[in-house]
RNA sequence: GAUUAUGUAGCUCAGUAGGUAGAGCACAUCCCUUUUAAGGAUGGGGUCCUGGGUUCGAAUCCCAGCAUGAUCACCA
């Protein structure tokens, strides 16, 4: 990336100066009245042509077709585009045609934001168009936008480079309307979920993101430090333990949309920060929670897409209740034909090897089952499916199964081959909970970096007594991927985490002047790639001298060539 | 972290047995003047990701790096 402005950027800056010289403020402070939007006009005008005869609307210029005294342009507002018709003699009723000839035709560009007043009519071509009577520049754009064109559903020159789309999401949002739709849908999703939960009377709460002890999930945390307390704090990996404290405190149902942070790998399913909705309801169990999840997700599908049947990638997924239910052992048996339910750790490890599942010595029996399941079953579960009854070893916060030894009352919902939620009857036996934490500590000693740590305050809380409680964590990003048919988590995060953009250390004109470089040589030096002091200091004076002579020709500079001594003096 | 692909104009992409780089859109100037991815003509615009190496000569070949994507690993 050059710090040089491109030709088009220079032209726009010059236009900006001319606009100011015309006495026009390119960034006016006053509000601009908007009483009509493109979507509304397109919808209502065909039904009643007497509407919209005195409108005022605003948006970004996305295309222009200029032909002398008449011109067409399109502006884009949040919901869509509207064609504008400009006629020179209507925009400039007097003798002075500057506003049209100079401002509109020459000094405005694609990307500028304008406001227009006028009336809606049909053109000869039958397109709904705003006949502009007056227009106002609201913001001059200095960077050219990628121009995406579309005809009959075919998109030309799409702005598609993922790096640029994610790093400059604002550009992505301007030129790719389907991206705006995705994020609107994501918000519809959370709105739908929130209203569902509120209608049930559950209380939305906020709990700490900075936690002295991270807990509630198996994951590596981000670590930070609080200066005045001089303590280590962790960014939360889950909010489970806090929400359960609130159940102890007497709330019957609490939930939180929680940004969680996990210091792990990134790929199309994982971002270091992601959103979960966690819900805890007193006096309920996991069977009850399964029904709630079905009901809630079905409603979300209808609220966001108008149907329970969604095309996601190659698959047609139907969220209509009831969903299929398998126990974990049943699922493994179903997909591999092997009954692992009675196996001990050694037999399990043997089976895993036979199935081609990679294992390592830190894995206990529970982890082994999880690996086998994850490898052989999860990717094959396309339709929403509940997997129930997990091994106790991998669920230190879940209640022991009421009838099956060695298992806990837990379920996950799998959809499109990925987990979308996780839930259990919460463990409320403080003695058992302490033991479970202790065995996690053992796993930690065996080298499991994700083993949970013991949270004394949480234990103290449940020692006061926590009602039987059903808990749920549902991945909002994963759910949003499904609901918006997105292939990557980055497509449902407005600002996905990216490696930092590398920035050249830039020398300002003043820096160059301070070193003794005459102003006229600064562009040439920049062109030669000398953008920071170290580069200049490290340059070979002879080479730089030659380069500059070359640049002088190339840039058609009307100054005397540099001398070698001059260049040596800059380098010092 | 591993493998692999990609990185050329503001955007989307061509291209070259290794010999001073092309198209469309965008931009500029002029002509036309109610157009619809959309008129016509002319023109400007590039450290061909960065750094090394091979070579008379590298955007092209080799190595390393950076960025991004994909797959795997990790990751409920």
pLDDT in tens, A43-63: 999 999 899 999 999 999 999
pLDDT at A26: 95
Task: Supply the pTM of this predicted model.
Answer: 0.85
Q: Which tens digit of pLDDT belongs to each residue from A297-335?
A: 999 999 999 999 998 888 899 999 999 999 999 999 998
Q: Which nucleotides in chain B lie less than 7 Å from some protein C-beta?
A: 1, 9-13, 24-29, 32-39, 44-47, 51, 66-76
Nearest nucleotide (C1') to alpha carbon of A531: B47
pLDDT at A257: 96
For the four alpha carbons of A417, A420, A426 and A430, in that order, the dihedral sign comes to positive
Q: What is the ipTM of this complex?
A: 0.84
Q: Which residues 199-258 of A interface with strand B at a CB distance below 7 A?
A: 217-219
pLDDT at A357: 80
Give the CA A156 to C1' B13 distance in Å.
Answer: 11
Q: Which tens digit of pLDDT belongs to each residue from A525-565?
A: 655 555 555 556 555 555 566 556 655 555 555 566 666 66
Give the CA A387 to C1' B1 distance in Å.
Answer: 31
Give the CA A65 to C1' B40 distance in Å.
Answer: 14
Q: Which residues 18-77 of A interface with strand B at a CB distance below 7 A?
A: 63-70, 72
Residue A566: count other Cβ atoms within 10 Å of its Cβ.
Answer: 16
Q: Is the CB of A121 under 7 A from strand B?
A: no
| Look-up of token digits 């790929």 | A267
Give the CA A382 to C1' B53 distance in Å.
Answer: 52
pLDDT at A2: 34
In A324-372, DSSP assigns E strands to: 324-327
pLDDT at A348: 85
pLDDT at A89: 87
Is A17 exposed, middle or buried (CB count within 10 Å of its CB: 0-12, 13-18, 19+)? Answer: exposed
Give the CA A371 to C1' B75 distance in Å.
Answer: 12
pLDDT at A520: 64
Residue A294: count other Cβ atoms within 10 Å of its Cβ.
Answer: 19
The three-state secondary structure class of A274 is strand
Report residue A313: phi and psi, to 5°: 60, -125
The three-state secondary structure class of A45 is coil
Residue A39: count other Cβ atoms within 10 Å of its Cβ.
Answer: 14
- Taking 70 as the pLDDT cut, the residues of chain A under it are 1-4, 501-515, 517-572
Q: Which residues 293-352 of A interface with strand B at a CB distance below 7 A?
A: none
């Amino acid at each position: 990336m050059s710090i040089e402005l491109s030709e088009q950027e220079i032209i726009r800056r010059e236009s900006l100066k001319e606009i100011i010289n015309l006495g026009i403020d390119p960034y006016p402070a006053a509000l601009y009245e908007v009483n009509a939007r493109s979507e509304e006009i397109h919808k209502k005008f065909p039904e009643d042509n007497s509407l919209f005869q005195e409108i005022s609307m605003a948006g970004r210029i996305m295309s222009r077709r200029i032909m002398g005294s008449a011109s067409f342009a399109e502006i884009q507002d949040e919901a869509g585009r509207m064609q504008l018709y400009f006629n020179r003699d209507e925009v400039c009723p007097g003798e002075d045609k500057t506003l049209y000839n100079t401002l509109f035709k020459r000094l405005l560009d694609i990307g500028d934001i304008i406001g227009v007043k006028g009336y809606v009519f049909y053109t000869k071509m039958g397109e709904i168009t705003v006949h502009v009577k007056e227009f106002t520049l609201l913001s001059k754009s200095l960077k050219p936008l990628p121009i995406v064109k579309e005809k009959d559903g075919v998109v030309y020159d799409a702005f598609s480079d993922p790096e640029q789309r994610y790093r400059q999401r604002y550009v992505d949002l301007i030129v790719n309307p389907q991206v705006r739709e995705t994020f609107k849908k994501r918000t519809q999703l959370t709105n739908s979920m929130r209203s569902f939960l509120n209608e049930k009377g559950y209380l939305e709460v906020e709990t700490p993101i900075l936690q002295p002890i991270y807990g509630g999930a198996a994951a590596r945390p981000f670590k930070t430090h609080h200066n005045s307390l001089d303590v280590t704090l962790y960014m939360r990996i889950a909010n489970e333990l806090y929400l359960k404290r609130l159940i102890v405190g007497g709330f019957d149902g609490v939930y939180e949309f929680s940004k969680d942070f996990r210091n792990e790998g990134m790929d199309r399913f994982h971002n270091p920060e992601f959103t979960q909705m966690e819900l805890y309801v007193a006096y309920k169990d996991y069977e009850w929670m399964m029904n709630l999840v079905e009901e809630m997700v079905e409603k979300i599908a209808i609220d966001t897409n108008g149907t329970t049947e969604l095309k996601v990638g190659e698959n047609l997924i139907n969220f209509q209740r009831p969903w299929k239910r398998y126990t974990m052992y049943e699922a493994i048996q179903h997909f591999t034909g092997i009954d692992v339910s009675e196996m001990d750790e050694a037999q399990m490890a043997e089976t895993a090897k036979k199935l081609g599942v990679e294992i390592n010595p830190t894995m206990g029996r529970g982890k082994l089952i999880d690996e086998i399941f994850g490898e052989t079953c999860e990717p094959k579960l396309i339709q929403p499916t509940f997997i129930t009854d997990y091994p106790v070893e991998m669920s230190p916060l879940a209640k022991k199964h009421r009838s099956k030894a060695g298992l806990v009352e837990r379920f996950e919902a799998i959809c499109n081959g990925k987990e979308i939620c996780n839930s259990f009857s919460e463990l409320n036996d403080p003695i058992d909970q302490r033991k479970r934490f202790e065995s996690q500590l053992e796993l930690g000693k065996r080298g499991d970096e994700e083993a949970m740590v013991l949270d004394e305050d949480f234990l103290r809380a449940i020692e006061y007594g926590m009602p039987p409680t059903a808990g749920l964590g549902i991945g909002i990003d994963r759910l949003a991927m499904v609901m918006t048919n997105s292939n990557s988590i980055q497509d449902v995060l407005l600002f996905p985490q990216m490696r930092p953009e590398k920035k050249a250390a830039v020398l300002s004109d003043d820096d160059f002047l301070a070193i003794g470089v005459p102003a006229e040589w600064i562009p040439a030096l920049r062109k030669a790639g000398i953008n920071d002091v170290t580069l200049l200091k490290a340059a070979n004076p002879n080479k730089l001298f030659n380069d500059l002579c070359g640049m002088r020709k190339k840039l058609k500079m009307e100054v005397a060539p540099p001398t070698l001594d001059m260049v040596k003096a800059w380098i010092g």
